[in-house]
Each structure stands twice: as structure tokens, then as C-alpha cells.
Amino acid sequence: MRKEEIIETFKFRHATKEFNPNKKVKEDDFKFILETGRLSPSSIGIEPWKFLVIENPDLKDKLHKVTWGGKGQIPTASYFVIILARTIKDVKYDSQYIKKHMLDVKGFPPELLGKIQERYKSFQENDLHLLESERTIFDWSIKQTYIALANMMTAAAQIGIDSCPIEGFDYDAVHTILDEEGLLENGHLDISVMVTFGYRVKEPRPKTRKPFNEIVEWIK
Amino acid sequence: MRKEEIIETFKFRHATKEFNPNKKVKEDDFKFILETGRLSPSSIGIEPWKFLVIENPDLKDKLHKVTWGGKGQIPTASYFVIILARTIKDVKYDSQYIKKHMLDVKGFPPELLGKIQERYKSFQENDLHLLESERTIFDWSIKQTYIALANMMTAAAQIGIDSCPIEGFDYDAVHTILDEEGLLENGHLDISVMVTFGYRVKEPRPKTRKPFNEIVEWIK
């Protein structure tokens, strides 16, 4: 691909506040976007994410009411996704989830598991201090989901589809709503971030960013 | 761009364990990669990141010694980047950094700042409970930097350049090294994650991922 063309797609992408309700993203294009999320990398390869596509009108309405950051986006978007992240129950080094993932998804030989688990323990406990609290390891899990979030927004932009990530919601209220619907797998999943996809209705303000030399430092 | 071609670049990308030391990424291509990081979105648009390009051999060597996850990558990569994230000093709603950013980068009218700050306060305190500790708000800052991380790796892959993100390091040791070099701006910045770029020496194992239907759930 050409660099100039890629940079153009990065400039095209903006946090779209309102989508064109009459121009729906094709399901095939949306599945392509999700596929780039699926193919995203994550720490120790554990894919600690789930993508909920909220199409049920009642549920969407309930979520909309507690999401001030999605006032214009949720009702107009073609697709409304809640990205969930796996909690300590699944992402702590000695979880059943990781064990199963190593064997069934990554196909590691069972006799290596002990050694791998020891390495992950040291990584989580000693290197990054991830086990200070349930929240610190959950936040680590969320960090991985932001890789998938980024890739989905970038891939969308590369085929001309707009998006808006949404962090502006009442976390506890959204948690309660999803939990009541049984969507959090008994505490194995919790909310990371929301993201909406559609087509813009109007052109955004010009993009603002700090100059290159303020954010890049070369240590020679 | 074509969807098939984009998916191919996602399949091309893998966590490269060792780069070809004789094939250097062109500086121009590397600057393009950094540019996609610069153009990445972040919550409330505050760009809470800095990209340190480590070229000094002594510093690189010191960091290499405390980075088990970069044993093969750091000595062979064309470019070794440490992504820093802004700490509570800069990303708390009432920081000077945010105020300056709103005025100088985003060009908001000064009379709006009070209202915006109130909204950010409520967002950080009530909605996402980000101010539970210095770490929770710093982890939120890091989440944003993972968007830049993802975009840089994806953009690299789209022009045929390999990469490897690195979380496997002794956090405290890296912190001390960077702090002693005066690279953490007196506690306004701290370490998020490392990433290396170069060209692979050998083909990776086939990519493994959970099936689409295990990570996507449609709520109809």
C-alpha cells in the first residue's frame, strides 16, 4: 500500500458525532471491521476481548440513556458495539481460561504449560505489578482491547466508513444493564469501551494534533 | 482500499522475535509509522503520549538487560521505541497540561474551559472512577497509547515492515533508567509499552485466533 494513501485514511478518521441514519454500513463491511479486531494482537496472545453488537432496540435504548458520550451516535449509527474485556477470573496467570487458550487455541504442548505459567506469574506479579488489585489486572486486559478498538476504527476508515469510540458513559449503570442481560459471563467479562460505525452527515472540523517534534524524541 | 488487501496485512503482522540486522527500515518509512501514531485518536483528544526513539547504544544496552521480552528484538531491530504515557499530573481534569492543550492545540475559546473542565471532572470521577488512585488514571492514559501502538504496528505491516510490541520488562528498572536520563519530565511521563520495528529473518508460525463466533455476539 502507498504511505500517502494510508496517511489520508488517518486524516479521514475522526470521532463522528452523528451518522447518516439513511445510509447503512453493509453487513459484509462491518464483518470485515470485526475481523480486523479479531486478528489484532494482545499481550501473551490471550485475546481477552468480546465484541457485543447491540441490535436489540430496547437494550440499545436503555444503554443510550446512560451514555452521554453517545447521545448523537447511538441512535444514528449503523452498528453499535460494546467491547468487553476479560477480568481477573480469566486473565490471571493461573486461570482456566489461559490454560485452555494455550492448549486449544495456540496448540502449545501440555508439558510446556507449567513453565509458561511460571513465566506469566513472574511477568504479571514482578515485572508489571499487575496483581496489585482486581482493577489493575483488568485495566491491563482493557489495554489489549484498545489495540482491537484502534484497528477496527482504522480499518473502517480505510474503506471509507466512519466511527466514534465512546468512553463517556455511566460505568456502573452500563454494567448493571449488561449483567442483567447475562452478557458478562458471570463476572468473567466487564466493560472496556464502546464504538459506533456509520457514515458521517457532515464534514468534521480540521484535525488538530501536536507537532511531530513535540511527541517524538530521538535519544542519540 | 480493498478489504482483502487490508486483511492480508493483518495476517502478515506477527510479533517478530528477531529482525534481520542487515536490512534497515528506511528513516522515511519509520517517520511514516510514527506519523500514524501521532494522528491516532485519544480520549477527550489529549494525546497523552510521547515516543522515545532509543538510538544511543549505551542506553539501548542498559534497557536490553532488563527487558526479557525483547532479548532477540532490541539488538536486531532497526528502530526501538518506548511509548510513554502522561501521568495524573497531566491527565487529571484540572491539570495545566489539559488546559494548555485545549487552548493551544485544540483552539477552544477560553470562556468554554470552565464548562469543559466540569464535564471532564464528572467523566473522570463519576462515570469511569478514574481517580481511585494515581495508577487507575495512569492506566487510563496508557489505554490511549495502545491506540497509537496498534496503529503504528498496523501501518508498518501495510508497507511490509515487521514489528514486535514488548511488555516483558522489569518496570521499576526501566523506570529508573529513563528517570536518570531525565526522560520522564519530572514525573509527568511514565512507561506504557515498548515496540520494535524491522524486517523478519524467518517466517512465523501460522497465526492462531479464536473463531469469529466465539468473540462476536449479536444481541438481536
**B183–A217 C-beta distance less than 8 A:** yes
Backbone angles phi, psi at B190, to 5 degrees: -150, 175
What distance in Å separates residue A18's CA from the closest CA in chain B?
17
Band of the pLDDT at A10, cuts 50, 70, 90? very high
A49 near B CB under 8 A: yes
For residue B149 the three cell numbers come to 501502538
Q: Is the pLDDT of residue B21 over 90?
A: yes
Q: Is the pLDDT of residue A217 over 90?
A: yes
Q: Which helix (H) or strand (E) holds A198?
A: strand A189-198
Mean pLDDT of chain B: 98
Residues whose CB is less than 8 angstroms from the CB of residue A129 and which lie 6 or more positions away in sequence, other chains included? A136, B171
pLDDT in tens, A97-122: 999 999 999 999 999 999 999 999 99
B131 near A CB under 8 A: no
CA–CA separation, A113 vs A105, rounded Å? 13
B52 near A CB under 8 A: yes
Place of cell 519530572: B186
Q: Which of B54, B144, B158 sits opposite A219 (nearest CB)?
A: B54
Task: Report pLDDT for B63.
Answer: 98
Contacts of B45 in chain A (CB under 8 A): 15, 208
Please state the ipTM of this predicted complex. 0.99
Q: Which of B123, B151, B183 sits opposite A150 (nearest CB)?
A: B151
What percent of chain A lies above the pLDDT cut of 90?
100
B116 near A CB under 8 A: no
- Secondary structure (DSSP) of chain B: --HHHHHHHHHH--B-SSB-TTSPPPHHHHHHHHHHHHT---GGG---EEEEEE--HHHHHHHHHT-GGGTTHHHH-SEEEEEEEE-HHHHSTT-HHHHHIIIIIS---GGGHHHHHHHHHHIIIIIS-GGGSHHHHHHHHHHHHHHHHHHHHHHHHHTT-EEEEE--S-HHHHHHHHHHTT-SGGGTEEEEEEEEEE-BSSPPPPP----HHHHEEEE-
Looking at residues B128-142, what average pLDDT do you find? 98
**A147–B150 C-beta distance less than 8 A:** yes
Band of the pLDDT at A1, cuts 50, 70, 90? confident
What distance in Å separates residue A40's CA from the closest CA in chain B?
7
A129 near B CB under 8 A: yes
Contacts of A144 in chain B (CB under 8 A): 146
**A209–B127 C-beta distance less than 8 A:** no
What Rg do the C-alpha atoms of chain B give, in angstroms? 19
**A45–B208 C-beta distance less than 8 A:** yes
Contacts of A29 in chain B (CB under 8 A): 3
**A41–B153 C-beta distance less than 8 A:** yes
Place of cell 463519576: B126
What distance in Å separates residue A77's CA from the closest CA in chain B?
15
Nearest to B220 by CA among A58, A202, A51: A58
Mean pLDDT of chain A: 98
What distance in Å separates residue B7's CA from the closest CA in chain A?
7
B90 near A CB under 8 A: no
Q: Which of A1, A51, A210 sits opposite B1 (nearest CB)?
A: A1
CA–CA separation, B68 vs A21, rounded Å? 50
Looking at residues A191-217, what average pLDDT do you find? 98
Q: Which of B32, B107, B208 sits opposite A3 (nearest CB)?
A: B32
pLDDT in tens, B38-87: 999 999 999 999 999 999 999 999 999 999 999 999 999 999 999 999 99
Band of the pLDDT at B1, cuts 50, 70, 90? confident
Task: Report pLDDT for A36.
Answer: 98
Q: How many CB pairs under 8 A join A and B?
A: 220
- Give whole-number Cα distances, A127 to A34, A122, B175, in Å: 32, 7, 11
A139 near B CB under 8 A: yes
Strands B49-54 and A216-219: parallel
Backbone angles phi, psi at B163, to 5 degrees: -150, 165
- Give whole-number Cα distances, A145 to B104, B140, B150, B203, in Å: 31, 12, 10, 26
Contacts of B185 in chain A (CB under 8 A): none
* Cβ proximity of B19 and B73 under 8 Å: yes
